[in-house]
Structure formats: structure tokens, C-alpha cells
Chains A and B, each alone.
Chain A
Amino acid sequence: MSTMTDTHDDHDDHDHKPTGITRWLYTTNHKDIGTMYLWFSFTMFLIGGFMAMIIRAELYQPGLQIIDPNFFNQMTTVHGLIMVFGAVMPAFVGLANWLIPMMIGAPDMALPRMNNWSFWILPFAFSILLASLFMEGGGPNFGWTFYAPLSTTYSNDSTAFFIFSVHIMGMSSIMGAINVIVTIFNMRAPGMTFMKMPLFVWTWLITAFLLIAVMPVLAGTVTMMLTDKYFGTSFFDAAGGGDPVMFQHIFWFFGHPEVYIMILPAFGIVSEIIPTFARKRLFGYSSMVYATSSIALLSFIVWAHHMLTTGMPVAAELFFMYATMLISVPTGVKVFNWVATMWKGSMTFETPMLFALAFVILFTIGGFSGLMLAITPADFQYHDTYFVVAHFHYVLVTGAIFSIMAAAYYWLPKWTGHMYDEKLGKTHFWCSLISVNVLFFPMHFVGLAGMPRRIPDYALQFADFNKIISIGGFAFGLSQLIFLAVVIKCIRGGEKATDRVWEGATGLEWEIPSPAPYHTFSTPPEIK
């Protein structure tokens, strides 16, 4: 954590790097690959966001006006897939690439060539997925959860492309996860014990284990889908002795750990940022580590809370209800630790801190609606309504995405060597904060009133709320262009960043010059 080193002088500039397109194609440098991941994820964020705009435009008024229902279904499906696998996950992998070696004092990732592969197969995966939208019959339209038999018996012919692209995304994630684990296990600088590692590294280590545990299960699921649809097997086909409900069990066995894959690194980021701007050490470091591990372990035994209405026996429903509620204990530990870190700190409110604070509050709201959904009898009302949509967007947009924004602002000066435009950054924050709540908060109400999700039309009484939601959506979408402007401006120039950048920043990455040299820690730093 707050272990200091003196390594500044061994970074003379031997920054010879290849130029042109081949630099990016052939690179094995963790910083280059991290940058590519982050740009890729931002591109996907805009594409997926554009699809959300189409969805919100259609839902601006009741009735069908802009797109036909089949295309609407494709938009909800591909929006979900792009945001989960294209935006959030690659953004975290990008941050891991940039930061983990610098934080543990390693010269690079342990498996640099595999690192190059795991990035470069991603653009192909998403090109395939996006291209399927333009094929005859359209792209995937069965929801990002691709429940059988919607995705097998009733899906269109482009489903094979969907399956293939999910396979590639899975391979990329698995390779990335293996790389992270090997790097953290074998490449730590002398003296960097596990319990001295920054929390971002810890949360990523746990995330990486979740990834290698469940991404293969996802690969298995889509493989079964593939053989069911094209080769006559009947894993999920009742006529052949299979069971469509089993699809949901196997999918959510992957799916629930997956949602923690998208939030644990966010916990790590926030645990880095809040101490810096509160100018205090993180409260309860080891309890944070244990809480993260328990969340990861619990994530394997709660999957069926997504399926409480499928007619499970009461005993199973109670088990999954209590197990799910148990997760709020370690999560609560984390939230209280963040609050305790800020308690009596000398806080300042730069953009990264604002995003981190918004994360703590809004993620907690998402957590509470999650608790509500976990209550089995209540879930029968909430299931498949906009209440669920509100819940997971609070944890994923104001949770995961806000933490990624916070991380970008926090480390941008270290990456580019320039301070970003604070005024513009704060504008981005306030626009995002207000619009995101206008966008997602009313969804709670329409959900409780019974508006079903994934339907292109709705009953008239939901019209006013949907108009408000759509306006919030457009505003939130546009606000993200400010972020793009901030990043471009910061890369081009700006006030020179100091090595430490933030007054209260601690950790190895702040010991090296800004911008971070192409090669860092060629000789490992000594951790005292």
C-alpha cells in the first residue's frame, strides 16, 4: 500500500519505440496494449450507447414509430452484449494492463505476446457480432442472456456468428485473466508481499480467478446452443429429452460471477481514489481484501436468484434468497470502509473524487434495489420489469462505468503527462450525474407499476415517465462526448503533470515520471 521506494533515477529515456501502425499491431508493451484496450472499449461504449439511444427514441412515445419490433429486440440484445463484453470488461483489462505492472513494480506483463493476442482478437469478435446485424434476417434478437429456446429453435440464421463471436470474446478474457494472475503471482517486486499490494491489484487478481472459472462455462453454454441449433443435439430441447430451464441454470452459473467480474475492479479503483483525495490511508485494508474474496466465493452459489419465477421448490427459493442477501454483508463492509476513509479526512473534490463519491452513493442505491429483488415473494412482482433494468443500470453505469471514468481522470495525467482540463472534467461529471439519474431513477417507478422490459411498446400510463427517461438518456449520451473532448485535449497538451500528480497519492505508479516512460521498472524497485 503506502510502501515507498526510491526508483526515480533509473528511468533514463531509452524510449525507442517502433512507429506507425506496426507499433500497435506487433506491440507487446503493456502500456500500448492498455491504451488500445481503453480506446477500443470507449469506441464500443459509444456504439453500444448509440444503440441505447435508438431504444430510448423508440420508447419516447407509446406505439411503434421508428423501428420495427424485431430490430428493437436486436438493439436491446446487442446493446447488452456490447456494453458487457465490449465496453466494461475491456476497459478493466485496459486499466489492468496499464496499472498492474506499474503498481507491483514489474517491467511488463508476464506474458506479453499473449497479451497482444488477447487484445487483437477482440476487434474481430465485435466486427463479427456487429456485422450480423446487417445480415439477412438480422442479428441476435433473443436478449443478451440468449435463453433457449429463443436462441436455438426460434433464432435467426446469423446465430452462428453470435456464438462464434462470444467464443472469441471468451478466449480473449481467459487469456487476459491468465496473464493477470501470472503477472501478480510471479512478477511482484521484491518486498511486495500480497498484503502490501494496492487494492486495485487485489480486486483484479480475484476477478481474474472468477474469469477463468466461469468464462469456460459460457463457452460450454454457447457450444451446447450451437450443437442444439445446427447439429441436432437436444441439451435444451424438451422434445429430445433436454430442458430449456437447464439453459438458465448453466447460463446464470456463468452470469452471476460475471456481474462481479464487472464490479470488483471498480471496488479496487474506488479504494485507490478515495484515500488519495481524503488524504488518509484506506480504512480497513485487510477487511477489504477479505470482503472482496467473500463476494467472489458467494457469487457461485446465488445464480438462481435470476430465476426465482421459474417454479423452483420453496426450499431452493429460500436458499438462493438468503445466500443473495448474505452478499450484502461483505459489500456493506466495503461501503462502510470507504465512508470511514473519508471520515475526518481533508477532502478535496477533483473530478476523479467526484466520480468515486457518486459511485459510492449510486452503487449503494443499486445494491439496495438488488436486495429488494432478492426477496423471493417480492421478486414475483419485480421480475422482468423496468425495476430490474433500473437496478442493473445503477450498478453497471453509475457503478462500473463511473468507476472507469474516475480511473481515467485519476491516471490520465500519469498516462499523458498533462493535467486534464478540470473545468471540463467537472462539467462532464455534473452533466453525467444529473442525466444518469433522470435516465434511470424513474425506471424504478415504471417498473414497480408493471412496465415489462424488452418490449418496444407500452401502456399509455407509462408515457410521461418514459419521455423523461428518454430525455435523460439523450442527455447522458451527449455528456459522454465531453469526456472524449477532455481526453483528446489532455493528450494534445495542457499543464505539465508532476510525478506524483495528486498531493495525497501513494503507490509505485506515482514514483515514476509523468508521462510514464515506455519502459518502467526494468530493474525492480525495492519495497521497504
Chain B
Amino acid sequence: MQQSKQVENSKLVKKLVVIVIGMFGFGFALVPLYDILCEVTGLNGKTNTTAASTENIRQNKSRTVTVEFLAITNKNMPWQFKPVERRIEVYPGEVKLVNFYAMNESGNDLVGQAVPSVSPGRGATYFNKIECFCFNRQPLKAGAETLMPLTFYIDADLPEDINTLTLSYTMYDVTEAVQGESTQLSQTGE
């Protein structure tokens, strides 16, 4: 084959390889893109993972909102985990403190991580947590029990048609991940 054709070929190959590498990167870029999209739109019931500020909270005492709490433990998480109060009434802008009860029923020291989700998803962005046990991992010694606090307020801009917000926590066992055991997150292959 002529020299010129080989040069042309390798030029095109280089361009195509760049596309391939770019698309490999794009696959990973989908991860933050997905999170951003969920955060912006409140899709998936994702709430903020950082504390909201307490300044400039607008209040609206003309209506009340029912806030329900759910607490679930993930499979293989041997904790008792439940809200102290299952449902409360608040007005938008009211700063409220509630507690969740947890008890480690196993014989091992474990570390839990609670992951929140708000339903309906549309209301998730109006649910502001000032202090939450879900911001940090929660270590609990074998047999110990604890109360974990959550301080929150509902944004005054919450749409009129949302009268009930359900906040659900799922408690995961992250002990192994914390210990840095890189092999397997949980031994459930069967």
C-alpha cells in the first residue's frame, strides 16, 4: 500500500481512539451527572447530604405539613432501628428535633450508615436537614443502644398540594467498608 494511505489510516485511527477513550470517560462522567440531575430535580427522593443553614428561615404558620418517619434496616443489618415518633405535624419553617432509636442486637461492634429518601420525590428539595445522624457513620458497640437526632425544617415554598412528606431511612452495615476490607462488602454470595 502507498505511504500516503498509511498516514491517512493512522490519522483516522488516532481520532477514533480518542472517541473511544472519551466515551470510556463519559461512562464515568455519567455518575456525577446523575447525582447532579437527581439533586437539582429532587428525583429519586434524594435529599441534601450536607447540613442546611439556620439563617433566614422563612416561616409560614398558615398551614401544617404532616411529616412521617420510616426506618428500615438493610438485609443482614442486625440492628433494631426505629423512629421515636412515627408522625408529627409541623408548619413550614418550624425547626424541629426528632430522635431515632437504634440498638445493636448482634454480638459485634458495627458501624451503620443511614441513607435517606423523601417521598414524594418532588418534595425532597424542600426538606432541609440542619443536623442529621445520616451525615456521618454511626458506630454502635455490641448490644449498645442509642438515640440519634435529626433537626430539620420544611421550606416555606413547599408546593400547596403536598401535605404529607415521608422521610425514610435505610440503615446499612458498612463495618467492613470502614475497616477497609477491600475484598467483599458483604458475604452474601450464598
Contacts and interface: CB of A to CB of B under 8 A. Distances in A.
Interface of A: 70, 107, 110-111, 137, 152-157, 174, 178, 181-182, 185-187, 212-221, 224, 228-232, 234-235, 237-241, 243, 245-246, 249-250, 253-254, 311-313
Given A221-B27, A224-B28, A186 B8 contact: yes
Interface string B24-68: 111110110011001001011000010000000000000000000
Contacts of B188: 153-154
A133 to B, nearest CB: 16
Contact of B177 (A156, A232, A250): A232
B184 A186 contact: no
Given A232-B177, A250-B30, A253-B30, A155 B9 contact: no
A217 B9 contact: no
B162 interface: no
A321 B115 CA distance: 31
A36 B127 CA distance: 61
A174 to B, nearest CB: 6
Please provide the 6 A-B residue pairs with the shortest distance between their CB atoms, ordered closest to farther.
A220-B27, A239-B172, A216-B24, A216-B23, A217-B27, A156-B189
Given A214-B23, A239-B113, A181 B173 contact: no
Interface residues of B, number: 47
B142 interface: no
Contact of A220 (B28, B44, B122): B28
Given A224-B31, A230-B182, A238-B115, 13 more contacts: A110-B9, A152-B185, A182-B16, A186-B8, A186-B12, A215-B23, A216-B20, A219-B24, A238-B172, A239-B174, A241-B49, A243-B38, A313-B121
Would you call the interface of chain B mostly helix, strand, loop, or mixed?
A: helix
A174 B13 CA distance: 11
B19 interface: yes
30 contacts: A70-B190, A153-B185, A154-B188, A155-B189, A178-B13, A178-B20, A181-B16, A182-B9, A186-B5, A187-B5, A215-B20, A216-B22, A217-B26, A217-B27, A219-B24, A220-B25, A220-B28, A231-B182, A238-B115, A239-B173, A239-B174, A239-B185, A240-B174, A243-B35, A246-B30, A250-B27, A250-B34, A253-B27, A253-B30, A312-B43
Contacts of A218: 27
Nearest to B74: A239
Contact of A111 (B13, B19, B35): B13
